[in-house]
């Protein structure tokens, strides 16, 4: 097999012994060498491919926490506040006032198939102080064609009068149907009991769609565009059809990423769940890797559903929600730990972190296991003493750095207050303690873009331009490590991805600019291409 050499303007390897290079030599899909060309020739004949000679190469990015739902959601109309890029590369400017929302809906309605509801997503009311999206606003677009606007949280929707009539919403007695003083429906439907009336009427099931090949291909396409070469689907049903769809899709030569799906533990009785993962692992190949298990403990801070310790939420009384009784989490942690599988555990609030640290401590006392790398996901509010416990237990973290930008202003003013925002997403503290950590976007909750995620961890800048907690900023180099080797470690895959060093897969992010150039924000660095196993992806 020939050796292909890609000369580059610069290569950041993430290999501490050989942090930079000028040429990448690839053989059999793996990194052979990063030495000067003359040294590489010692391995044999080479083919020099100059196409990236003026580019900067890095290890392909690893997105350690996102969802294949990202591949579905763009089948619907985007109405979010922030600018976003669809998997097909189309730029979607954010919509920031009622008129813009109406205009975009109206434009879309003109080419919308008749008889179908117009479904939109991404609207985030938290950015619309003073303006409430309601049925009147949507009726002005059309009171005949059913219009459904899913909010960014996916916990709320707003519908127009056509939907209210068709689903007979006015006659139902459900708390989540928002009404005005006269008892008239406003069009806003909160939480599942109210939203079910609409899901049921139109047969909407986004989660089912996310397991299909179309969604997986779209998802991979979106990931590739952002320089990602390994991506997770961190809550997968692992049904037979889902496994088959992933196997069939990833095995194709042109599938441009490696996919790491996690079993949704709460969907399975523990014995059956671990058996299912083992079964799925038989389908593993170079681009598909089963073997991790996801446990979702609490909700989200911006929805006031994360479980918080004292002093709780700033604006709202009461605490968040558990997805299962805490005792169940203990049993699940013990079971999957004992079964030898790796856990990825959603813990947004500090109370959720506490429960899971207790569970990990129990499990490790009963069944000591070196290098388990169970990973606490999100850990937005993890306390300093909890970081020490996490380190002592050998746990890894995957920190939700994007929250600082997208909800940092809201967290300071409405959910958490000043102090906890100084610490929110404490990457620097984790780094100082030597804890293995990655950073992530949780797409479709926030956009896929590891460079932007690194930018958030490096600057801690909110959407309004505020800086939240300079003591928790990390350097560019550490932020870049977190989106490559750090994330790879949390997935137990650092033996084959995460850095460019001999023997690892030649997965590469090709950049137009140098991410270590202090003159250019990390968020402005452009992804030019990716290589998977040394081959440029399409």
Partner 1 sequence: MSGQVVPGIAVHLLCGFLGSGKTTRINTLIRRGELHDALFLVNDFGSLNIDAELIESSEGGVLRLSNGCACCGISGNLSAQLSGVRRWQRPPRQLVFEASGVARPRPLMQLFDAAGGYRLDRVELLVDLSALDNLLRDASVSDIVAAQLGDIDDMLINRWQAMTNAACQEEIRRITEWNSGARLQWLEPLEDSGAPRAGATAVGGPSFPVDAGTELVTRSVGLSGPLDCERLLLLLDAARPVLLRAKGFLRSRDAPEIAQLLQWTPGQARLTVQQGDKPAMLVLIGKGERNLERLAALIETEVTLAGSA
Residues that bind partner 1 (CB under 8 A): 154-155, 166-168, 172-176, 191-197, 199-201, 203, 205-208, 235, 237, 264-271, 296, 299, 305, 307, 318-319, 321-328, 331-332, 351, 355, 358, 361-362, 365-366
Cis peptide before 148, with omega less than 30 degrees from 0?
A: no
Instruction: Say if residue 538 is exposed, middle or buried (CB neighbours under 10 Å; 0-12, 13-18, 19+).
Output: exposed
Q: Which is nearer to partner 1, 21 or 237 (CB)?
A: 237
Residue 392 Cβ, how far from partner 1 at the closest point, in Å?
Answer: 12
Q: Which is nearer to partner 1, 174 or 516 (CB)?
A: 174
Q: Which is nearer to partner 1, 206 or 301 (CB)?
A: 206
Q: Which is nearer to partner 1, 98 or 321 (CB)?
A: 321
Q: Which is nearer to partner 1, 12 or 307 (CB)?
A: 307
DSSP string, 14-78: --TTS-EEEEEEEETTEEEE-S-HHHHGGGS-EEE-GGGTTSEEEEPEEE-S--TTHHHHTTSEE
**Element containing residue 391 per DSSP (H, E):** helix 384-392
Residue 344 Cβ, how far from partner 1 at the closest point, in Å?
Answer: 15
Q: Which is nearer to partner 1, 30 or 331 (CB)?
A: 331
Cα dihedral 241, 293, 150, 110 sign: negative
Residue 395 Cβ, how far from partner 1 at the closest point, in Å?
Answer: 15
Residue 365 Cβ, how far from partner 1 at the closest point, in Å?
Answer: 6
Cα dihedral 251, 252, 253, 256 sign: negative
Measured CA to CA, the distance from residue 7 to residue 23 in angstroms comes to 4
Q: Which is nearer to partner 1, 75 or 208 (CB)?
A: 208
Residue 416 Cβ, how far from partner 1 at the closest point, in Å?
Answer: 19
Helix H segments across 176-285?
A: 191-202, 206-209, 213-225, 240-250, 270-281
Strand 437-439 versus strand 46-48 pairing type: unpaired
Residue 235 Cβ, how far from partner 1 at the closest point, in Å?
Answer: 8
Residue 219 Cβ, how far from partner 1 at the closest point, in Å?
Answer: 17
Residues, the chain = 538
Measured CA to CA, the distance from residue 398 to residue 303 in angstroms comes to 20
Please enumerate in sequence order all residues whose Cβ is within 8 A of that of 224, keeping only pairs 6 or more positions apart, or say none.
256, 257, 530, 537
Q: Which is nearer to partner 1, 442 or 507 (CB)?
A: 442
Residue 327 Cβ, how far from partner 1 at the closest point, in Å?
Answer: 5
Residue 85 Cβ, how far from partner 1 at the closest point, in Å?
Answer: 24
Q: Are 323 and 294 in contact (CB under 8 A)?
A: no
Residue 196 Cβ, how far from partner 1 at the closest point, in Å?
Answer: 4
Q: Which is nearer to partner 1, 167 or 257 (CB)?
A: 167
Q: Which is nearer to partner 1, 92 or 202 (CB)?
A: 202
Measured CA to CA, the distance from residue 363 to residue 361 in angstroms comes to 5
Residue 322 Cβ, how far from partner 1 at the closest point, in Å?
Answer: 5
Measured CA to CA, the distance from residue 101 to residue 99 in angstroms comes to 5
Query: What CA–CA distances, in Å, run from 310 to 214, 362, 383?
Result: 44, 24, 12
Q: Which is nearer to partner 1, 75 or 358 (CB)?
A: 358
Measured CA to CA, the distance from residue 78 to residue 445 in angstroms comes to 13
Q: Which two tokens stand for residue 522?
A: 């990390």
């Amino acid at each position: 097999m020939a050796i292909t050499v890609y000369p580059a303007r610069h290569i950041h390897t993430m290999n501490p012994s050989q942090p930079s290079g000028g040429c990448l030599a690839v053989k059999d899909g793996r990194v052979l060498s990063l030495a000067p060309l003359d040294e590489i020739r010692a391995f044999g004949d080479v083919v020099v491919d100059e196409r990236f000679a003026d580019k900067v190469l890095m290890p392909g990015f690893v997105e350690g926490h996102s969802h294949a739902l990202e591949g579905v959601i763009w089948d619907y109309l985007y109405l979010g506040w922030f600018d976003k890029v669809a998997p097909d590369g189309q730029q979607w400017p954010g919509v920031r006032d009622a008129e813009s929302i109406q205009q975009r809906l109206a434009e879309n309605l003109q080419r919308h198939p008749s008889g179908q509801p117009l479904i939109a997503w991404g609207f985030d009311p938290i950015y619309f102080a003073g303006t409430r999206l309601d049925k009147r606003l949507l009726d002005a677009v059309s009171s005949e064609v059913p219009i459904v606007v899913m909010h960014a949280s996916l916990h709320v929707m707003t519908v127009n009068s056509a939907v209210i009539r068709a689903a007979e919403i006015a006659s139902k007695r459900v708390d989540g149907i928002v009404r005005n003083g006269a008892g008239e429906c406003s069009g806003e439907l909160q939480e599942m009991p109210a939203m079910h009336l609409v899901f049921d009427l139109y047969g909407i099931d986004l989660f089912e769609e996310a397991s299909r090949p179309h969604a997986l291909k779209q998802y991979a396409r979106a990931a590739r565009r952002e320089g990602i070469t390994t991506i997770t689907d961190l809550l997968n049903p692992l049904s037979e059809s889902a496994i088959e769809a992933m196997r069939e899709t990833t095995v194709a030569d042109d599938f441009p990423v490696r996919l790491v799906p996690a079993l949704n533990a709460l969907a399975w009785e523990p014995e059956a769940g671990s058996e299912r993962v083992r079964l799925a692992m038989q389908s593993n190949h170079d681009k598909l890797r089963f073997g991790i298990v996801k446990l979702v403990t609490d909700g989200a801070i911006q929805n006031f559903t994360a479980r918080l310790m004292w002093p709780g939420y700033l604006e709202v009384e009461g605490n968040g929600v558990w997805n299962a009784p805490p005792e169940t989490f203990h049993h699940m942690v013990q079971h999957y730990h004992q079964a030898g599988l790796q856990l990825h555990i959603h813990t947004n609030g500090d109370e959720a972190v506490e429960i899971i640290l207790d569970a990990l401590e129990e499990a490790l006392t009963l069944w000591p296991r070196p290098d388990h790398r169970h990973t606490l996901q999100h850990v937005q509010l993890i306390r300093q003493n909890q970081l020490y416990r996490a380190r002592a237990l050998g746990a890894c973290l995957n920190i939700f750095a994007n929250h600082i930008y997208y909800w940092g202003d809201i967290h300071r003013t409405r959910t958490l207050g000043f102090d906890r925002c100084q610490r929110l997403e404490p990457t620097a503290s984790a780094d100082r303690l030597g804890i293995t950590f990655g950073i992530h976007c949780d797409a479709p909750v926030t956009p896929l873009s590891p460079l932007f995620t690194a930018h958030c961890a490096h600057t801690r800048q909110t959407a309004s331009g505020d800086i939240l907690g300079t003591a928790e900023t990390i350097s560019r180099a550490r932020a870049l490590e977190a989106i490559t080797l750090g994330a790879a470690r949390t997935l137990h895959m650092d033996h084959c991805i995460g850095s460019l060093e001999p023997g690892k897969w030649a997965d590469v992010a090709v950049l137009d600019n140098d991410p270590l150039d202090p003159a250019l924000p990390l968020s402005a660095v452009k992804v030019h291409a990716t290589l998977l196993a040394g081959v440029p992806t399409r």
